[in-house]
Structure 1
Amino acid sequence: MTKDKDPLSENDSGNAAYPLPDSPECPFCGGTETHLENPFGSVLSVAQYYCRRCRTIFEWIKRDNGMR
C-alpha cells in the first residue's frame, strides 16, 4: 500500500487545484471571523463555514467562486 506524499489539508475541497478560502466574508454580517465547518455542505458544490461574529453557519458556493 502506498501513501500520498502531500495529504490534503483540512480546508481543502478534495481538489488541490481549487482550495477553499480560509475566511470568506459572512453573507449575513459581513464579518471575516469565519472558519471552515465542513468542506461539503448540503450538496457537494458548497462548503459550510461558521461566523464567530454573528454565530451563524452559512454555505459558500464553490462554483461561483472560481471553481468552474
Structure 2
Amino acid sequence: MLTEPLTAAERRILKLLPTSTYQQIAATLFISRSTVKTHLRSLYQKLGASSRSEAIQRAVDLRLL
C-alpha cells in the first residue's frame, strides 16, 4: 500500500525507471535531470524505498510496473 497516490509525473518516471538513466528519463519527458531527481525523491518516499532497485521491486510488488 502506498502512503499516498502517485502523481501523473511520478507514474511517468516510474514507468521509465527500470530501463533508463536519469538523463534518458529527462530527455524522454522533456524535463531537467533535477526535476527527475525531485520526482524520484517523492516517489521513493511514497514507495517506502531507499534505492532505485528497491523502488522498482516495490512498484512490481504493488503492480505499478
TM-score, normalized by length of structure 1? 0.28
Q: Decide which structure has greater helix share.
A: 2
Which fold has the larger relative contact order, with Cα–Cα distance below 8 Å and residues 6 or more apart in sequence? 2
Q: Decide which structure has greater strand share.
A: 1
Point out the structure with max Rg over C-alpha. Answer: 1
TM-score, normalized by length of structure 2? 0.28
